[in-house]
Amino acid sequence: MPDTANNAPPPEVLSKECRIFIAGHRGMVGSAIHRSLTDAGYKHLIVRTHAELDLLDQRAVHKFFADIPIDYVILAAAKVGGIHANNSYPADFIYQNLMIEANVIEAAFRNGVDRLLFLGSSCIYPKHAPQPMREEDLLSGHLESTNAPYAIAKIAGIKLCESYNRQHGTHYRAAMPTNLYGPNDSFDLENSHVLPALIRKYHLAKLAAGSDRKESIERDTLVFGPLPDDIREALQDPKESLGNNAAATGPVVRLWGSGSPQREFLHVDDLASACITIMGLSDEGYRRLCRNEPRPPERSADGATEPDLSASAGVSHINIGVGTDLTIRELAEIVSSVVGYEGETVWDASKPDGTPRKLLDVSRLKRTGWTPLISLAEGIHATYRWYLEKSAAG
């Protein structure tokens, strides 16, 4: 995990004695933040499993906050998934995410929690936003249709934090990470994001070429979940494709889309260090980070000049990313090399690509001195090692 000592928060803002509730501590993001805070010496971390606290249950959430003294909330709990999951369950994505964030933020406020960090996603930006996407680009155009319900829920979370701050003087902050990956990610091929899906598909194709493919694939499914029918059927014969390409002479991996969309990827441990940096900023430091430079006045039709008040007011969230991207096709080449897969990759252009490009402008965050420390190749190697260890452990 990256060393965050250079970004250590001031003690008056985030002291080691703070009682911090991490909502979603078992997920990829929440678990990384929990590890990072634990390693940094925070001893009063409060967590609850879904069985212990259902964040969709408003009454239960309010009771929890009323019963447990809490100084800071990190809202990392969310329903997440890739293009297929967003296309298949749009009502689940908008309803569950709206309810989670509304329940937690309102209960936190009602029970005197003054500080909160809400985590969203880079999909909040318009489909054709200028690249790299600045915080100011929020709500400047149409969203990508495949994940619009999820994006709208995350935008609502930003506006909830902004509105509570305006009306009640709270110090609720919002951070929008780019595409994330790392340990504890979901490798469910029906619902996962692109990078974990690539790791598992290439790994399964590699297993299909081995002599003990049946036992190895069964062990993989026990750990990481069942396979879609087309992939399960293809894996029964190593000469068939991982996607039903009957002309293949060996295991073939079939991937959605053209491979041309560009994406940015951040290791979840780097995200955790960025979150600690944002949490540790003083109130004035955070306001300064969110403030926009005033733009030149715009001239109206009658010749009068009018200041751009929206620009001078600032933004309500901070981007978290690496500032560079690559195509999905290039990503697939890196993953296949890391996994050691030597077969063919087939691209199914009949499937949706999603947003053409999603690169974040991270200049605001970098003003704090924070920088990501884990390269993409290093992070994919580490994630695949975690995958293999998890699979071996059963």
Residues recognised as catalytic: 150
β-pair type (305-306, 298-299): antiparallel
Kindly report the backbone phi and psi dihedral angles of residue 199, in degrees, each rounded to the nearest multiple of 5, phi listed first: -60, -45
Looking at residue 156, the DSSP 8-state letter turns out to be H
Q: Which residue matches tokens 């940015």? A: 264
> Which H or E run includes 92?
helix 90-110
Task: Give the integer Cα–Cα distance in Å for 97 and 151.
Answer: 10
Which among 123, 37, 142 has a CA at the least distance from the CA of 80? 123
Distances (CA, A) of 220 to 75, 208, 216, 392: 31, 12, 6, 9
Q: Which is nearest to 48 in space by CA: 94, 107, 98, 93?
A: 107
Q: Which of 367, 368, 319, 291 is nearest to 10 (CA)?
A: 368
Please say whether the beta carbons of 27 and 76 come within 8 A: yes
State how far Cα 31 lies from the chain centre: 13
367, 278 Cβ separation under 8 angstroms:
no
Tokens representing 258 are 């053209």
Report the distance separating Cα 190 and Cα 197, nearest Å.
Answer: 9
CB within 8 Å of 24: residues ≥ 6 apart: 30, 75, 76, 77, 78
Q: Is the peptide bond before 132 cis (omega within 30 degrees of 0)?
A: yes
Angle at 295 between CA 293 and CA 301, to 5 degrees: 160
